[in-house]
Structure 1
Amino acid sequence: MVSAAAKQKVQTIIDENPVAVFSKSHCPHCRATKTTLSDLGAKFYVLELDQTDGGAELQDALTEISGQRTVPNIYISQKHIGGNSDLQAKKSELPALLKAAGAA
């Protein structure tokens, strides 16, 4: 059972940031996502779940919110994008999505 506080923290991060990336520092897919966003000049919020107190519970909360257990777990304009392969598949749309989100 995920605590209401963990769910609220995740939802607040999603709501308050044009781009939110829930990541783990050792994950190569997460690194690829952060590189892609950086290369596009995007401003984005990253939460490294493996370096955050309660990261496992936050990941459980993300699973409940998005239905996705894996990282990276990416949101643009409060919409769940998916993981790195989903982000890479949208590469041609990303500049417009980031601009619309106010993150470019």
Structure 2
Amino acid sequence: MAGKQMVANLIKQKKVVMISKTYCPFCTKAKNALANYKINPEEYEILEIEDRNDMDEIQNYMSEITGARSVPRVFIGGKFYGGGDEMMNMHRSKKLEPVLSNAGALL
């Protein structure tokens, strides 16, 4: 239960949270999309889960709240926005910056 509670708290406390695995190409895609913006580092958390004992618990929690266990899972302002393809599509269609801005995530 510790992993689930920790992630729930992160999503509440930080403006941008990504559940990720370092070797995942879709996670890299999401990170690259978000790297185009000046996100306040104090409000941005990338949680790499592949070496965590509670990885399955975290992925099961992601399934509960987003409908899928896969990574990345990106939350902005406490709301789930998708994974790598969604972040890149939002960036390309100029929809990501207003979402980040409205969440108070930008410097």
TM-score interval (norm. to shorter): 0.7 to 0.9
Give the deviation of 1:53 after TM superposition.
3.2
The answer to whether the 8 Å contact 1:68/1:82 transfers is: no
> Quick one: structure 1 residues 51 and 39, their matched pair in 2 at CA, closer, same or farther if it must change by over 3 Å?
farther
For 1:84 and 1:32, how far apart are their aligned partners in 2? 5
Identity of aligned residues (%): 32
How far the C-alpha of 1:6 sits from its partner, in A, is 3.0
1:36 and 1:96 map into 2 onto residues whose CA distance is: 14
Match of 2:103 in 1: 101
Query: What secondary structure sits across from 2:85 in the alignment?
Result: helix
Q: What is residue 83 of structure 2 aligned with on the other side? A: 83
Bigger mean CA deviation after superposition, 49-58 or 17-26: 49-58
Give runs of ≥4 in structure 1 deviating > 4 Å.
none
Q: Which amino acid aligns with 1:76?
A: I
Aligned to 2:57: 57
Distance 1:25 1:101 in 2: 25
Aligned to 1:42: 39
Output the TM-score relative to the length of structure 2: 0.85
- For 2:20 and 2:26, the matched residues in 1 are separated by 9
Structure 2, unmatched stretches of 5+, are none
TM-score by length of 1: 0.87
How far the C-alpha of 1:85 sits from its partner, in A, is 1.1
How far did residue 42 of structure 1 move?
2.0
Which residue pairs with 2:70 in the alignment?
Answer: 70
Partners of 2:38 and 2:58 lie apart in 1 by: 27
Task: Give the count of matched residue pairs.
Answer: 101
